Amino acid sequence: MCCGRICMLCTCLLLVVIAIGFLFGFGVFKDGFHKIHDSVNLQCDPRFGCSEDVGRRGYGFPAPAEGKPTSEATEIPVRRRRSQTDDYKMRITVMTTGEQIITLDVDSQEIVENVKALLEVESNVPIQQQQLLYNGNEMRNSDKLSSLGVKDDDLLMMVSNASAGSPARSDLTMNPDGSASNSAALQQHIITLSSLSLEQLHPPHTEIQNLRANSESSVIPFPIMSLPQDIIVDIIARVERCDDPTLSLVSKRFRSTVSSPELHARRSLLGRTEHRLYVLLDDYRTSKKCFYVLHNRRLVPIPTLPTKGSFVAAGSKIYVFGEDIAYSRTAVSIECTSQSQSHTVKTLPSMPYMLTGAASIIDGKIYVSGNCDYDGDEVSMVVFNTETQMWEAEIIEPDIEVGPMIWSSLMMAGKIYIMDYRSSVFYDPKERTWGRDQMLDSKKWRVKGACVVDDVLYYYDEDENCLRTYDPKKRCWGVVNGLDDLLAQTIGSKGSETVSYSGKLALFFLKEAVRGNGIWFAEISLERRQGGEIWGQVERCHQVLSIEGRCAFKSLPVEL
């Protein structure tokens, strides 16, 4: 029995070997079984749909000729996620005109049409209505990403054809002050111009067309890119600052222009600057500090900025001197941009002395005052020139007694007022004299987060629940009238600060509640009426942040 079964098994194996020989040739036993892979197409059958985990292997279909893909596979755009083992995989970011951010993992050899198919899923914009731009160039559907120079972490811009047409001429008119009457139309016009080639605007001669047809790698410049840099700066200066992130995606040149000092200077001349409020919060519960920026009615955290030292805002920069109570000579500047999370921190020349105290700016010079020895008695003042970015050699010493532990300082009526916990003194840079104002010190304003608007001092008096004013020329105190509704909100607040904000008065205050405390923001326009009375009108008042416990404020208005 056993011998019979062995014979039957041997006979079956022999028949299998003969069958393989007839199907693939008896040379398969000599050259190896990889011949089977070369003889049978193992790719997905496109008629049944292809994906990574769905589809049917094409066993039995003839293998395609080498170097020639099947026609079905080239006609059907494949929408699939790339596996982690794909070659030349990279990540690109796409921003739509609606400022939607889309991140895609694609192959460098992927064609633009397949990228649009992925974007259709993410943005619900049909492929036919999509227009992709890279460095201002329109990307054709048949182009590969690698041939266009697209690399890992590059930015693309997607414009809908329904909104990509040129705006009407009336939309591009200018206001008498030189600003655009329709900033959105001007922005779209710039993007459209940057995506047009010279062929579209000025048809070339036949000879030039033939040369370009024979040179597939020729690069055609954009009309707007051929303009002088000062003209481009003048054009972008008339676009609203909120559109800067979108413009920075048009090209690398636009990106550098948006963050350039020349653009800020041009906008200043046109009166097109905008103010942005940065707030440093000191959380008493966690003993941690963090910077926030007021954006879209909310305080947005910026955890990367330095939080120790004396702070002062000058133009588009925030200057930081020293490191709180720890004596230090460090000095840095923070360059702010229209993109709330984009900042550049630059190290400045060290301070002449180790000072801890306060800083104020007047006529482009920052006066840093504070205690310069370890016992906290001696007070000095040093000057930093924001134009030369250097410290002046002179050390200013007060000729009157200044109390220990400098708290803060501010500029009012051309003078620098320095405050400690007990009193205040002022320094006049033009007269180079020191003095006191006894009437000013009659109120407890020094630790109340005061500010100056049009040479008038303002602070919120929590004890009396009123917004107080002080006129240094008349040397008299007063209150802001017409704020009854706001003062009903501020009753019982546990911390406040006022700040001059775009010619108006801004007030931050902390309100306690059962479900958690909240930081509120109020913007107040001011009016001086006959008789010298100051009246205020609340333009907006709302909560900007929810916190636990209490905190201290330090607000810095930055001009962008």
The token pair at 311 is: 């702070």
pLDDT digits (tens, 9 = 90+) for 320-370: 998 755 567 899 999 887 666 678 899 999 998 777 678 999 999 999 988
pTM of the model: 0.59
Domain 304-436, architecture per CATH: 6 Propeller (2.120)
Q: What is the CATH architecture of 89-160?
A: Roll (3.10)
**Rounded-to-integer distance, Cα 276 and Cα 348, Å:** 23
Q: How far apart are CA 471 and CA 118, in angstroms?
A: 63
From CA 154, how far away is CA 397, in angstroms rounded?
Answer: 54
553 is written with which tokens?
């404020």
Place of tokens 């002449």: 352
Q: What pLDDT score does 228 carry?
A: 84
Residue position matching structure tokens 């007269």: 431
Helix segments in 25-109, DSSP class H: 28-31, 34-39, 71-75
The pLDDT tens digits for 465-518 are 999 999 999 999 999 999 999 999 998 888 899 999 888 999 999 988 777 789
In tens digits, the chain (560 residues) has pLDDT values of 445 666 677 777 777 667 666 665 665 555 555 444 444 444 444 444 444 444 444 434 444 444 444 433 333 333 334 434 444 578 888 888 766 788 888 888 889 988 888 888 788 888 888 889 888 788 999 899 999 989 888 888 888 765 444 444 445 555 655 555 565 566 565 555 554 443 444 444 444 445 445 444 444 445 667 788 888 888 888 887 777 777 777 778 888 888 777 887 788 788 777 788 999 999 888 888 999 999 888 998 988 889 988 899 998 899 999 875 556 789 999 988 766 667 889 999 999 877 767 899 999 999 998 876 555 567 889 999 999 999 999 889 898 888 777 888 999 999 999 988 778 999 999 999 999 999 999 988 866 789 999 999 999 998 899 999 999 999 999 999 999 999 999 988 888 999 998 889 999 999 887 777 899 999 999 999 988 899 999 999 999 999 888 888 899 999 87
- Cβ(202)–Cβ(262) under 8 Å? no
State the CB neighbour count (10 A cutoff) for residue 24.
Answer: 17
CA dihedral (287, 288, 291, 295) in degrees, to 10, reads -80
Q: Is the dihedral of CA 78, 81, 86, 88 positive or negative?
A: positive
Q: Give the residue from 279, 251, 276, 280 showing the smallest Cα distance to 264.
A: 276
Domains of the chain: which residue ranges? 1-27, 33-64, 89-160, 169-270, 304-436, 448-555
User: How far is 267 from 433, CA to CA, in rounded Å?
Assistant: 36
